[in-house]
A = this chain, B = another copy of it.
């Protein structure tokens, strides 16, 4: 027990993401090899486009969640590598399709696949990766896991369509917004964690606990992402902000600022986000209004709330290094705000 507690204490000293990354390092090497292997195709444009987005794919948070959840549940085999790869392929496919959807020009500072190869390639390579994800799951052969990930995929699509409907609609409620982010982001986080319990053949209660953990972590993660898009600090660090504003996406900071705003301010929100009539200085004014009404702070506050639920969900698992890492990831998600 002592050693295990020590490991968990590590998260006090190391950054939470580093703890998780170190813990999953060997398994992630196998995942990265499988990603390269399974995104290959005789049609050369496919690995080109897929490689572009996979290479710019950042932290690989979702497959790490699968790997670490499996190990936390005591899983000893290597099936979790294929499952984690499948989760990453589904995520990459949605990024590619999101490129089409949002007409975004930049993703993480890289030129997006869309800007380089066009809408058509983004759609089709996304479809290819999505199919590959299911091929990996079929090879794995677990019907419950296939059910979890095919259901998550249709929930993601529903969330994205719901986001499309609420775009440019300043009347969007906080609940409607939550439904969107539960679908487009949290459903895959939840599935990524939940399948860890399934592969380890653990009882339903643990499957459900990891589902609740992942869902609430995902909500918290997306809330902070949406906050950061208006973060003056983020702008100071030279990171791009204002993407959501330019597209008229209705995220929680907007919803709170709109609802707390004067009639004059609401006119500003309607002009910029509904009519997309945006002028120099409008983004700065938007951030100013959010600060005035505490909308950014309270978005972080909401994220903390879901983070707390995520943390409590892990209470039923024994204290081990993996549980410590998963708890730490909740902190990591929220600490990005500062």
Q: A162 to chain B: which residues have CB within 8 Å? A: 43
Contact of A154 among B101, B132, B151 (CB under 8 A): B132
Question: In the assembly, what is the distance between CA of A134 and CA of B165, in Å?
Answer: 25
Contact of A125 among B120, B121, B157 (CB under 8 A): B157
A150 and B165: CB pair below 8 A?
no
A 129-144 contacts with B by CB, 8 A? 130-132, 134-135, 137-139, 141, 143
A127 and B130: CB pair below 8 A?
yes
Known: A45-B164, A127-B97. A135 touches B147 (CB 8 A): yes
Query: Whole-angstrom distance from the CB of A153 to the nearest CB of chain B?
Result: 4
Q: A164 to chain B: which residues have CB within 8 Å? A: 45, 120-121, 124
Fill in one digit per residue for A109-132: 1 if any B CB lies within 8 Å of its CB, else 0: 000000000011101110110111
Fill in one digit per residue for A160-199: 1 if any B CB lies within 8 Å of its CB, else 0: 1110110000000000000000000000000000000000
Q: A141 to chain B: which residues have CB within 8 Å? A: 143
B97 and A124: CB pair below 8 A?
yes
Question: In the assembly, what is the distance between CA of A132 and CA of B162, in Å?
Answer: 17
Contact of A100 among B45, B120, B146 (CB under 8 A): B120
Contact of A147 among B42, B138, B161 (CB under 8 A): B138
A158 and B42: CB pair below 8 A?
yes
Q: How many monomers of this protein are in the complex?
A: 2
A41 and B158: CB pair below 8 A?
yes
Contact of A130 among B42, B130, B137 (CB under 8 A): B130
Q: Does A46 contact B (CB under 8 A)?
A: yes
B125 and A161: CB pair below 8 A?
yes
Q: A165 to chain B: which residues have CB within 8 Å? A: 43, 45
B161 and A138: CB pair below 8 A?
no
A135 and B161: CB pair below 8 A?
no
Contact of A45 among B94, B135, B156, B161 (CB under 8 A): B161
B154 and A135: CB pair below 8 A?
yes
Query: Whole-angstrom distance from the CB of A200 to the nearest CB of chain B?
Result: 20
B128 and A151: CB pair below 8 A?
no
A134 and B158: CB pair below 8 A?
no
Q: A124 to chain B: which residues have CB within 8 Å? A: 97, 101, 157, 160-161, 164
Lowest 4 A-B CB distances belong to which pairs? A131-B154, A128-B157, A131-B153, A134-B150
The chain A residues found within 8 Å of chain B, CB to CB, are 41-43, 45-46, 94, 97, 100-102, 119-121, 123-125, 127-128, 130-132, 134-135, 137-139, 141, 143, 146-147, 150-151, 153-154, 156-158, 160-162, 164-165
Q: A45-B164, A135-B147, A143-B143 are in contact. List 15 more A-B contacts (CB 8 A).
A: A43-B161, A43-B165, A45-B161, A100-B100, A101-B119, A124-B160, A127-B130, A127-B157, A127-B160, A128-B157, A130-B130, A131-B151, A131-B153, A134-B150, A138-B147
